Amino acid sequence: MLKGLLFDLDGVIADTARFHLAAWNRVAESLGITLPPAANDALRGRSRQASLDLILNYGPGANHFSADEKAALAAKKNTEYLQAIATLTPADILPGVPQLLDDAQAAGLQLAIASASKNAPAILAKLGIADRFSAIVDPAQLQHGKPDPEIYLKAQALLGLAANEVVSFEDASAGVAAIKAAGQFAVGIGDATVLAAADLVVPSTADLKLATITAAFNREVS
């Protein structure tokens, strides 16, 4: 029986994935690296450090940079990102999400955030929805990033639920892989080809309807 919903944040709750990508593009440009289109999905859901390594590997390679140089590049990216998210307001919650959260709470479902972002609590506060979630996984406590299932297993444990009692939402192929490795039902938001491993894919958050999701979950999981 469905008892909880686990949400990625960037690209699922708010359109902040584009801010991450823009800030990383500026870092890449400063190093003379041009990111290929595939970086759009590859950078989603990856920790700050893993994202930087991925970018450097599109150029001379991550092992050509010292730990101090990498820390400075990651800090530069985060400063730009913080400037971009400073203006977020409740109006920046993606379409369909407020209704989904309302319907989920009316149905008695528990809600959790499973984001790799250390900025997630600040973003939720700016969006005015921090109190909707009974658990927010702290990425600093994790050993492994997505596509490892750890973050989704941690989110389900914080809610006291089992894998067959939750639905998890992602916009990244690494995130969908993490959900499936956790044995949970995955809803992908975006390109059905990129997110083919998900159990249900919708083109945009505006298409997220609790009744449709619950029906698909009940068909597959019970």
**Binding-site residue set for substrate:** 8-10, 24, 43-48, 51, 77, 115-119, 146
Instruction: In angstroms, give the least distance from the CB of 174 to Mg ion.
Output: 9
The Cα–Cα gap between 74 and 219 comes to 43
Binds 173: which of Mg ion, ligand G6P, none (CB < 5-8 Å by kind): none
Question: Is 46 a binder of ligand G6P (CB under 6 A)?
Answer: yes
Which residue is catalytic, options 8, 41, 102, 207?
8
Question: Is 171 a binder of Mg ion (CB under 5 A)?
Answer: yes
Does residue 103 carry a catalytic annotation? no
Q: List the one residue from 2, 6, 13, 43 that touches ligand G6P (CB under 6 A).
A: 43
Question: Residue 52 corresponds to which tokens in the numbers above?
Answer: 């930087």
Among 41-49, 64-72, 179-187, 188-196, the segment contacting ligand G6P (CB under 6 A): 41-49
Instruction: In angstroms, give the least distance from the CB of 202 to ligand G6P.
Output: 18
Question: Is 81 a binder of Mg ion (CB under 5 A)?
Answer: no
